[in-house]
Homo-oligomer: A and B are copies of this chain.
C-alpha cells in the first residue's frame, strides 16, 4: 500500500502507545470478548470456543494466553471492572454524602450498561456454590462493600444523627440488598424499574437529604 518509509511513519511510535506487545493486545481483546459474552449469557453458558471466536482466535490460541481457561478469564473480567468501581467508591477525599452521591452515580452508570449488570447479577448468585470459581471473590466483595457502606452510614449517623437507633452495619446490608434486588427486577423489566429513583427513595427514608443532587452527569 505505502512505501517502506511511510509505513514506518504509520506504525505506532515505539515509546508511548506501543509498550504493549502484540500478545498483550490480544489478551485484552480476549478479556473484552469474555466480558461481553459472560454479560450476555452468564458464565456457565459460555464456552472457551465462543470466547475465542468472538476474539477472532482459535480456542487453542486462547488457552495459550489463559491456560486456566474460563475460570482465569472470569477473574480477569471481574477484577478489571472492580478496579473501575474502587476508584470512585473508595475515594479518600469524599465525605459520607460524597460517597452516597457516588453510589447514586454508579447506579446511573449501571442503568446504561445492562450487560455488565447482568453479569454480576448472574454470577453473584451462581457463585453461592462453594466450588464456583468466583465464590471467594464474591464473598470478599460483599464483605468489602458492607464495610464500606457501614463506615459511610456510620459517619452519617454521627453527624446528622436524627434517626437514632439505626445500626450502620445492618443498614449497610439493607442498602446493598436493595441495590442487588433492584437489578434483578430491572433486568427482567427495565421499563418498570427506576433503580436510581428507588435508591434515592431509600436514602430519603434513612433521613438523607438528596435534594439538589444532580439527576445525571453524562
Residues of A within 8 A of B (CB): 40-42, 44-45, 118, 121-122, 124-129, 135, 138-139, 142-143, 146, 170-171, 173-174, 176-182, 184-185, 187-189, 192-193, 197-198, 201-202, 205-206
Residues of B within 8 A of A188 (CB): 124, 127-128, 135, 138-139, 142
A192 to B150, CA, bound (A): 14
Closest to A127 in B: B188
A13 to B40, CA, bound (A): 53
Q: Are B198 and A129 in contact (CB under 8 A)?
A: no
Inter-subunit contact A173/B198 (CB<8 Å): yes
Q: Please list 28 pairs of residues, one from A and one from B, whose beta carbons are closer than 8 Å in the complex, sorted by A's number.
A: A40-B129, A41-B129, A44-B44, A121-B128, A122-B128, A124-B188, A128-B187, A128-B188, A138-B188, A139-B188, A139-B189, A142-B188, A142-B189, A170-B197, A170-B198, A170-B201, A173-B185, A173-B193, A174-B178, A176-B185, A177-B177, A177-B178, A177-B179, A177-B181, A177-B184, A177-B185, A177-B198, A180-B185
Q: Which single member of B45, B127, B179, B184 contacts A124 (CB below 8 Å)? A: B184
Once the chains bind, are B121 and A125 in contact (CB under 8 Å)?
Answer: yes
Q: Which of A44, A122, A126, A173 has the most CB of B within 10 A?
A: A173
